[in-house]
Structure 1
Amino acid sequence: LAARLGIEEGTQLPRSIIEFYYKNDALNDPMVSEEHITAFGWASPQEIDDIMALAIRVNDFLTGLFLGVGIRLVDFKIECGRLWEGDNMRIVVADEISPDSCRLWDTKSNEKMDKDRFRKDLGGMIEAYTEVARRLGVVQEGETPHAGGPRLVK
């Protein structure tokens, strides 16, 4: 958003902005409008409303969660899907939420604690991700992340 509209990175907006993107690597995930989504039958107007409501709820939750541990949620992306339970369908978050899908900055220093460390060749990505996990209580002080995939956290 910052580069596309020529505003300073991290500028606080007066309200949340929800953007839709067509997930297609060959096309570089182009932005699409609600009109595209309904015209191509990707989602109904009601599903778009549900996606937008879910995005706002996720934003509110994550903003508070991260602020509580000294991290500013600058922006994030989620992927949504349909979950069928019998004849009932609901829209759900269908992918991970992690420093790979969020822009996270330390509230005091504005240090980037997300994938931008890799994108912008800042180094220290593992340390930044570990610090996010430590602040959230996923890993303990001094503990190093385990290689080899996910593990159960109590």
Structure 2
Amino acid sequence: MSTVPSPLDAHIGFWLRYVSNHVSHAFATKVEGHGVTVAEWVVLRRLLGTGATAPSALAEELGLTRGAVSKLVDRLLAKNLVSRAANRGDKRFQTVALTPTGREIVPRLAALADANDAEFFGHLSAEQRTMLMGLMKDVVRRHGLKDVPVE
């Protein structure tokens, strides 16, 4: 006995991915116009909130490997958006912090994120946006999802 498989668009996951891909691509295009990738933006935004932070702490907070964070930090150093400093007591322990240029660009990039959300979700009422965000956060909690999306 053969059953007919459900169509792709019968799945919530299909619609989440469909919307997510378009929202993410539009945002990536916006930030790349400012010389930054989405992954770099995530690190910059996190540093604005935490201040000087050890790369290992960034890796843990973002759910990335230390190697991935190291590469992101190297790229941000080359763009003069972050600085790296060694601990006086232990030269192996380093912290990463925003440079003045980095602190200046983060609000502009955050405004792009806000504009991107408005572009895709501005037609929803405040109540609908709150409900949608609440539903997504519930899925995250129920499944113990930890990694911050960076790509």
TM-score for the superposition, normalised by structure 2? 0.30
Q: Which has the higher contact order (CA 8 A, sep 6+)?
A: 2
Whichever structure has more helix as a proportion of its residues is 2
Larger Rg, first or second structure (1 or 2)? 2
TM-score for the superposition, normalised by structure 1? 0.29
Whichever structure has more strand as a proportion of its residues is 1
